[in-house]
């Protein structure tokens, strides 16, 4: 009964919504039938984002929302205005329509036959493919028939970044039917259904083995001193577009830093460009609700570009080991050996980003821990140990500390493992053992010679006795 109700609502809502002007039923100017009158939807305040577009794409039974734009209302015809905050999943768009006028019309693009459902964002979820355009049937895809090249095509088709997770753990319960052919994408196709597929049906997919796909969110910071500082950009249809400064505060910045895996927000600034250029305006209330930045973006033009600095702005600190006598040997990955009594130096360094700062060398052994600190000179510090002892055996790491933007930042290196070798067993092996073997061999030689001499004497006596008896 629930499935029938969903189907009824879908058919009912799709009869009052359409996209026209592009030949594809899933791309064009959005029109809504209200009070018996088909009118385009006006882009009056440029408030529609991918979140609202997703509702329209769903009511059209199209795939994932790809883009939201506008076109000029050249005929100056009456439009419907649909407030974004009225657009909710499960409600008909015509319920939100009000008569108005606008110079711009809302233009939407949805994927024809691919969508991700029940995910945590529009770029994640269980993959579904429309197997038959005439009966509007969506099917899950078996993980055994899907690989990374297929995933590349899907992520590109729905406007997301490259695939970051591909596995067979489900987002939600899988409903029959399932896609029964294997995709054979080369990776460069623009749509999944453009890929070749196996000629025969496959019926080997077991329950619980549908494809779950997570594409990366196409967001980055560029032009700064690290990947966590610079101009904020969002990718759209293959092009990176900057974000407008607008009314961003540290609250919105914190969400962006989290999406970028860059810790917390430190500062929000702006830079001016010479003239207006295409930009994204990110709705602050949409971002704070937990939605991805791409889902909250509205296209526009501005000369004020957002600059953002996040806390995880330092590159990783480097750690290395050296000795004046070149007595260090590499035992294994990140593991080194130093002879007992020799000197060694552990060096900490970082790429030049900010002046001053300090390095803290942390040494941890099986029963103790020690910290040594030096100020950074030319973005490095060198810790000398004049005589290696067994107590120096353990792990070492460097931590760089710097104060910038009214905050303290740190960057930690990988671990370096050190073993101190006692040369005494080596001397025993190299000197004492060969000498012992030599002495043993000499003793055996003289013993053999002495034994040979006695045997010769006995043989001569035997011959003399034989001679006397003969005489």
In this prediction, residue 424 carries a pLDDT of 67
Domains 2-112 and 219-310 share a fold: yes
Among 164-168, 184-188, 213-217, whose mean pLDDT is lowest? 164-168
**Residue carrying structure tokens 């005929």:** 75
Beta bridge partners of 385: 344
CB 435 within 8 A of CB 423: no
The token duo for 197 is 């597929």
CATH code for the part of the protein at 115-215: 3.10.250.10
Please report, in angstroms and rounded to a whole number, the separation of the first and last CA atoms in the chain.
135
Residue 170 reports pLDDT greater than 90 = no
pLDDT of residue 197: 84
**Residues in the chain, overall count:** 471
Q: Average the pLDDT over 81-93 and give the result.
A: 87
- What is d(CA 86, CA 72) in angstroms, rounded to the nearest whole number? 24
**Residue 454 or residue 451, greater confidence:** 451
**pLDDT single digits (tens) 250-293:** 888 888 888 888 887 888 988 888 888 889 888 888 887 878 88
pLDDT at 201 exceeding the cut of 80: no
Identify the pLDDT of residue 75: 79
Residues 235, 335: Cα–Cα separation, whole Å: 42
Residues 6+ apart with CB under 8 A from 274: 303
Q: 470 burial class (0-12, 13-18, 19+ CB within 10 angstroms)?
A: exposed
Query: Quick one: what percent of the chain has pLDDT higher than 70?
Result: 82
> In this model, does residue 12 exceed pLDDT 50?
no
Rounded CA gap, 409 and 313, in Å? 8
CB 219 within 8 A of CB 162: no
Average pLDDT, rounded, for the chain: 82
Per-residue pLDDT band at 469 (split at 50, 70, 90): very low
Most confident among 179-183, 196-200, 240-244, 465-469 (mean pLDDT): 240-244
Question: Where are the domains positioned within the chain?
Answer: 2-112, 115-215, 219-310, 318-423
Overall average pLDDT of the 224-236 stretch: 86
What token pair was written down for 243? 């974000």
pLDDT for res 8: 42
pTM of the entire predicted model? 0.64
Give the three-state DSSP class for 433: helix
Mean pLDDT check: name the lowest of 25-29, 274-278, 311-315, 325-329: 325-329
Among the CATH numbers 3.30.450.20, 2.60.40.10, 3.90.950.10, 3.40.50.720, which is that of 318-423? 2.60.40.10
Alpha helical stretches, state H, 109-219: 148-157
Q: Residue 174: pLDDT above 70?
A: no
The winner for highest mean pLDDT among 1-10, 332-341, 393-402, 418-427 is: 393-402
- Lowest-confidence pick of 136-145, 203-212, 234-243, 393-402: 203-212
Helix ranges (DSSP H) in 62-178: 148-157
Secondary-structure class of domain 2-112 per CATH:
alpha beta
- Confidence (pLDDT) at 360: 97
Residue range 394-417, pLDDT digits in tens: 999 999 998 876 777 888 899 999
Of 233, 211, 27, 204, the closest CA to residue 125 belongs to 211
Q: What is the rounded average pLDDT of the residues 430-440?
A: 70
- Domain 219-310 in CATH 3.40.50.2300: no
CA atoms within 13 A of residue 221's CA, in its CB half-sphere: 25
Residue 464: its pLDDT value, please? 39
């Amino acid at each position: 009964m629930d499935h029938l109700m969903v189907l009824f609502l879908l058919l009912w809502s799709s009869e009052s919504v359409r996209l026209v002007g592009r030949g594809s039923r899933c791309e064009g100017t959005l029109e809504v039938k209200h009070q018996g009158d088909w009118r385009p939807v006006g882009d009056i305040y440029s408030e529609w984002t991918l979140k609202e577009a997703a509702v329209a794409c769903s009511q059209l039974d199209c795939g994932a929302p790809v883009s939201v734009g506008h076109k000029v209302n050249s005929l100056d015809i009456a439009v419907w205005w649909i407030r974004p905050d009225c657009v909710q999943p499960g409600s008909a768009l015509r319920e939100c329509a009000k008569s108005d006028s606008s110079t711009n019309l809302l233009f939407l693009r949805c994927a024809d036959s691919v969508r991700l459902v029940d995910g945590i964002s529009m770029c994640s979820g269980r993959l579904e493919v429309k197997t038959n355009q005439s009966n509007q049937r969506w099917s899950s895809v078996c993980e055994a028939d899907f690989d990374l090249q297929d995933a590349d095509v899907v992520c590109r088709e729905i406007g997301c970044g490259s695939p970051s997770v591909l596995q067979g753990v489900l987002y939600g319960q899988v409903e029959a039917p399932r896609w029964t052919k294997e995709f054979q994408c080369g990776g460069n196709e623009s749509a999944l259904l453009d890929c070749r597929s196996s000629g025969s049906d496959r019926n080997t997919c077991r329950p619980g083995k549908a494809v779950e796909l997570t594409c990366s969110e196409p967001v980055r910071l560029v032009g700064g001193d690290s990947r966590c500082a610079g101009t904020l950009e969002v990718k759209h249809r293959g092009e990176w577009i900057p974000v407008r400064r607008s009314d961003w505060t540290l609250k919105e910045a914190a969400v962006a830093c989290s999406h970028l895996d860059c810790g917390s927000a430190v500062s929000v600034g702006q830079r001016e460009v010479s003239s207006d250029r295409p930009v994204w305006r990110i709705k602050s209330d949409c971002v704070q609700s937990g939605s991805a930045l791409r889902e909250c973006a509205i296209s526009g033009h501005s000369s004020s570009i957002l600059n953002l600095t996040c806390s995880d702005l330092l590159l990783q600190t480097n750690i290395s080991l050296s000795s004046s006598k070149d007595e260090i040997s590499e035992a294994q990955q990140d593991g080194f050996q130093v002879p007992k009594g020799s000197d060694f130096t552990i060096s900490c360094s970082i790429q030049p980003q900010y002046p001053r700062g300090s390095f803290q060398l942390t040494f941890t052994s099986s029963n103790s821990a020690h910290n040594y600190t030096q100020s950074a000179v030319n973005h490095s510090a060198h810790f000398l140990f004049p005589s290696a002892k067994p107590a120096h055996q353990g792990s070492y790491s460097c931590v760089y500390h710097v104060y910038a933007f009214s905050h303290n930042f740190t960057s930690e290196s990988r671990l370096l493992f050190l073993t101190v070798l006692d040369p005494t067993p080596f001397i025993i092996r190299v000197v004492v053992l060969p000498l012992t073997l030599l002495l043993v061999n000499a003793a055996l030689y003289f013993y053999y010679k002495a034994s040979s001499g006695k045997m010769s004497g006995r043989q001569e006596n035997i011959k003399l006795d034989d001679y006397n008896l003969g005489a």
